[in-house]
């Protein structure tokens, strides 16, 4: 199946009828339309679509949420919460964009301490 409007860009999709449990690591961009439970680690971009439901802690460069996330998000670049998105958990990122209609139920940490000790 080819797409005339897209060049190969490393994008991967988890379809809306798909359900996955476990640990997920990837590079590039992943769009989740279905359900995922576990742990997500990436140096790339994670997109949670309007139909996406995530129960996981997420570490990524960029997270764009249009659906539901139950878990903590750590993003090295930015987090975007689109209208009707719902995050239940803490967000740590140097940049946070919350659009009208998005919900964040948790703490937000926008400090730039990438080398902090715990």
Residue 71 forms part of a structural domain = yes
Return the pLDDT at 13: 83
Tens digit of pLDDT at every position of the chain (118 positions): 333 333 445 677 888 888 889 999 998 999 999 999 999 999 999 999 999 999 999 999 999 999 999 999 999 999 999 999 999 999 999 999 999 999 999 999 998 655 444 4
- Number of domains the chain contains: 1
> What's the Rg (C-alpha) of the chain?
14
Q: What is the pLDDT of residue 116?
A: 43
**Residue 15: what pLDDT?**
86
58: domain range?
Answer: 11-92
Instruction: Return the beta strands (E) in 1-118 as ranges.
Output: 11-14, 19-26, 29-32, 35-42, 45-48, 53-65, 68-70, 73-81, 86-88, 91-92, 96-98, 103-105, 108-109
pLDDT for 41 equals 96
Does residue 107 belong to any structural domain of this protein?
no
Closest CA to 28 of 61, 73, 66: 61
Among 60, 44, 50, CA closest to 11: 44
C-alpha distances out from residue 54 to 3, 31, 46, 84, Å: 28, 12, 11, 15
The reported pLDDT for the residue numbered 103 is 97
Written as six digits, the tokens of 68 are 């539901």
């Amino acid at each position: 199946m080819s797409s005339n409007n897209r060049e190969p860009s490393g994008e991967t999709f988890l379809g809306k009828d798909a359900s996955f449990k476990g640990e997920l690591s990837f590079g590039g961009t992943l769009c989740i339309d279905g359900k995922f439970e576990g742990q997500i680690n990436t140096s790339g971009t994670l997109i949670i679509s309007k139909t996406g439901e995530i129960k996981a802690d997420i570490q990524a460069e960029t997270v764009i949420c249009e659906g539901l996330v139950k878990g903590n998000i750590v993003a090295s670049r930015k987090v975007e919460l689109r209208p009707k998105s719902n995050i239940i958990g803490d967000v740590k990122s140097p940049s946070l964009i919350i659009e009208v209609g998005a919900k964040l139920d948790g703490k937000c940490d926008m400090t730039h301490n990438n080398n902090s000790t715990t």
